[in-house]
A and B are shown apart, each in its own frame.
Chain A
Amino acid sequence: MSLIEITDVRKSFGPNEVLKGINLDVEPGEVIAIIGRSGSGKSTLLRCINGLETISQGSITVAGAQLIDDEVHLKALRLKVGMIFQQFNLFPHLTVGGNVMLSQMVVRKTPKAEAETMAHKMLERVGLEQKFDAYPDELSGGQQQRVAIARALAMQPIALLCDEITSALDPELVAEVLAVVRELAAEGMTLLMVTHEMKFARDVCSRVVFMHHGRVHEIGPPDEVFANPQTPELKQFLGMH
């Protein structure tokens, strides 16, 4: 059984069908890059996996937890998949440490001391231990994004969804975030990332998914997909003529 099973998923916003039957199985430890033009449905697909968008048809399961739109099922699912956003979405009223501790204490009911230890550990992992008491708006974009990663990791998810996590960053800050992601991948974390970093996708990912008009248009190992695209759409997307 795969870790994440996406079966015939369809999603419409009103009359506009954004996902037109997606099938994708992800094995534990796989790192998957989802690429495609804006509007191709890649972010929507990612957001469906942890229930930020409801699906119109089909099914999604993550390690046995099925996506069902009620609070109990959603919570069970979200404890298994963490998500990192383009805009970081740190809680501005809490310190860095508070950001990483909050959900542990509120959702997992972890005692404060334990949550704090975990927060220190996770912040160390992303290289920001010394920022424990800083507020998010005192940090650079790259640092904020690393805190967001630590915050997601503190919930000990078995997979992480990354939604264009470097797209809002200044070019010189992209590398520090990707370095953290690269390390996670090396440690065997299952990752699904919507990204525009083609070089990163080529280096790190086990499979690349090219989405076009709400469908998985091409899928395969990065070497094949990037070096030998089969469809004219992917060729065009990659700038090959």
Chain B
Amino acid sequence: MIEFTIWDILRNLLLASRWTIVLSLVSFAGGGVVGLALLFLRISRRKWTRAFAKYYIELFQGTPLLMQLFIAFFGLGLFGIDVPAWLAAGLALILWTAAFLGEIWRGCVEAIAKGQWEASASLGMGRLQQMRYVILPQALRIAVPPTVGFSVQVIKGTALTSIIGFVELSKAGTVVTNATFQPFTVYGLVALIYFVLCWPLSKSSQILERKLNVAHRNH
């Protein structure tokens, strides 16, 4: 039997962590773009676009991410479309992230006092101008801490993609465990790596919250 050192294990896990990081970044960036589009639909004056965004968000928030991954991976396969694991993983995570970010940001936009809309409207601004110059700059301040906080959920969410065969940190953990028969050591290290990725984000979210709040009060 081959002996594995801790370094062997850690090295393999770290190599796989790259894919966790890439998938997280892609999901977050893609989810951000789609989420922004959802935000605009959600607060649009047209009824059906509002309804569309609302049902989209409810659907993705109301079903487990794992099911969404299965559907993206196996569902499309039923129609003869061969979806590689990375594509299904990326797609499902982007759509899932968008649903949450869209809703977080809607809350931030709605937290801006109604008077800001009225004042900018009475100065003759159109709706997009109001958003661009008056509402979003203020909403951004409130949005930063929860958005950064949610990025932690995205990173942890990527772990689920191991089930459809995408090799990231969790999947690598399973593979390495099967080779080494040291589940406690391996999964302990896996957890540690997740923690190292997530903790700074949680912490910075807290710091940002304090900082932006102070800035908002005193300039």
Contact residue among B115, B126, B216 (Cβ-Cβ distance under 8 Å from A85): B115
Contacting pair B121 A78 (CB below 8 A) = yes
Contacting pair B123 A152 (CB below 8 A) = yes
Contact residue among A50, A87, A93 (Cβ-Cβ distance under 8 Å from B115): A87
Contacting pair B127 A71 (CB below 8 A) = yes
Interface flag for B10 (CB, 8 Å): no
Contacting pair A85 B119 (CB below 8 A) = yes
> Looking at the complex, which of A102-110, A185-193, A195-203, A230-238 is the stretch in contact with chain B?
A102-110
Residues of B within 8 A of A33 (CB): none
Interface flag for B118 (CB, 8 Å): yes
CB within 8 Å of B: which of A152-192? Answer: 152, 155
Interface flag for A22 (CB, 8 Å): no
Residues of A within 8 A of B129 (CB): 106-107
Interface of B is mostly: helix
Contacting pair B122 A75 (CB below 8 A) = no
Interface flag for B137 (CB, 8 Å): yes
Interface flag for A79 (CB, 8 Å): yes
Contacting pair A103 B120 (CB below 8 A) = yes
How many cross-chain pairs have Cβ atoms below 8 Å apart between A and B?
68
**In the bound complex, CA of A135 to CA of B215 (Å):** 12
Contacting pair B219 A138 (CB below 8 A) = yes
Contacting pair B118 A89 (CB below 8 A) = yes
- Of the four ranges (under 10, 10 to 19, 20 to 34, 35 or more), the interface on chain A belongs to 20 to 34
Contacting pair B138 A83 (CB below 8 A) = no
Interface flag for B133 (CB, 8 Å): yes
Interface flag for B124 (CB, 8 Å): yes
Residues of B within 8 A of A106 (CB): 125, 129, 133
Contact residue among A50, A81, A91, A151 (Cβ-Cβ distance under 8 Å from B116): A91
Give the interface of A toward B (CB within 8 A).
50-52, 71, 74-75, 78-79, 81-83, 85, 87, 89-93, 102-103, 106-108, 135, 137-138, 148, 151-152, 155
**10 tightest Cβ-Cβ pairs between the two chains A and B:** A89-B119, A103-B123, A89-B115, A83-B122, A107-B124, A78-B124, A135-B219, A93-B137, A75-B124, A79-B124
Supply 19 A–B pairs (Cβ within 8 Å), ascending by A. A52-B122, A71-B127, A78-B121, A78-B124, A82-B123, A83-B118, A83-B122, A87-B113, A91-B116, A92-B216, A103-B125, A106-B125, A107-B124, A107-B125, A107-B129, A137-B218, A137-B219, A138-B219, A151-B123
> Could you list 4 further interchain pairs (A-B, Cβ under 8 angstroms) beyond the known A93-B138, A102-B134?
A51-B121, A83-B122, A87-B115, A103-B120
